Amino acid sequence: MIQSLDAKTWAQLSAFGDDAPLCIKTTDSSIDGVRLIDDDEKSVPYVTHSDSNNGLARFVSPKNYEFGSDDGGCITVGLDTQTAFYQPHKFVTGRNIQVITGESLNEDVAQFMVPILRQQMTAKFNWGGNGATLGRMKCLTVMLPVTDSGEPDYAYMAEYAQQKRDAMLDKYRKYVEAHVAELGELVEIPTLDEKEWAEFPLNDIFTVGAGKRLETRNKIPGTRPFIGATDNGNGVTGFVGNDNASKDSNVLDVNYNGAPCIAFYHPYECIFTDDVKQLSLRNYKNNKFVLLFFASFFAQQRSKYSYGYKFKEKRMLRQKLMLPVDDAGEPDYVYMEQYAKNMMLRKYRQYLAFLERDAEE
Question: pLDDT at residue 262 above 90?
Answer: no
Q: For 294-303, how does the pLDDT look when each residue is reduced to its tens digit (9 = 90+)? A: 998 877 776 6
Look at residue 134 in the predicted model and tell me its pLDDT: 83
Helix axis angle, 333-360 to 288-300, nearest 10°:
90
* C-alpha span between 270 and 117 (Å, rounded): 34
Amino acid at 167: A
**Distances from the Cα of 182 to the Cαs of 176, 189, 335, in angstroms?**
10, 19, 18
- Per-chain mean pLDDT for the chain: 91
Look at residue 303 in the predicted model and tell me its pLDDT: 62
Look at residue 118 in the predicted model and tell me its pLDDT: 92
3-state SS, residue 91: strand
Look at residue 309 in the predicted model and tell me its pLDDT: 60
Q: What is the dihedral of CA 51, 53, 54, 56, to 10 degrees?
A: -100
Look at residue 286 in the predicted model and tell me its pLDDT: 94
Q: For 268-290, how does the pLDDT look when each residue is reduced to its tens digit (9 = 90+)? A: 999 999 989 999 999 999 999 99
* C-alpha span between 172 and 261 (Å, rounded): 31
* C-alpha span between 57 and 206 (Å, rounded): 35
| DSSP per residue, 223-274 | EEEEE-S-SSGGGEEEEE----TT-BSSEEEEESSSSTT-EEEE-S-BEE-T
* C-alpha span between 272 and 262 (Å, rounded): 14
**Quick one: which of 227, 308, 311 has its CA closest to 266?**
227
**Distances from the Cα of 74 to the Cαs of 88, 112, 142, 188, in angstroms?**
7, 13, 17, 45
Looking at residue 323, the DSSP 8-state letter turns out to be E
Provide φ and ψ at 35, rounded to 5°: -95, -5
Look at residue 305 in the predicted model and tell me its pLDDT: 61
Superfamily designation of domain 197-337? DNA methylase specificity domains (3.90.220.20)
Look at residue 320 in the predicted model and tell me its pLDDT: 85
In CATH, which of 3.40.50.970, 3.40.50.300, 3.40.710.10, 3.90.220.20 is domain 10-150?
Answer: 3.90.220.20
Look at residue 125 in the predicted model and tell me its pLDDT: 84
| Strand duo 221-227 + 271-272: pairing | parallel
All CATH 3.90.220.20 domain ranges in the chain, comma separated:
10-150, 197-337
Look at residue 128 in the predicted model and tell me its pLDDT: 65
121 against 128, higher pLDDT: 121
Question: Which whole number is the average pLDDT over 36-62?
Answer: 93
- Per-residue pLDDT band at 22 (split at 50, 70, 90): very high
List residues bridging with 25 in a β-sheet: 99
Q: For 66-107, how does the pLDDT look when each residue is reduced to its tens digit (9 = 90+)? A: 999 999 999 999 988 889 999 999 999 998 899 999 999 999
- Per-residue pLDDT band at 308 (split at 50, 70, 90): low
Question: Which whole number is the average pLDDT over 55-67?
Answer: 95
Look at residue 306 in the predicted model and tell me its pLDDT: 54
Q: For 313-354, how does the pLDDT look when each residue is reduced to its tens digit (9 = 90+)? A: 677 777 888 999 999 999 999 999 999 999 999 999 999 999
Q: What pTM value is reported for the model?
A: 0.78
Question: Which whole number is the average pLDDT over 242-262?
Answer: 89
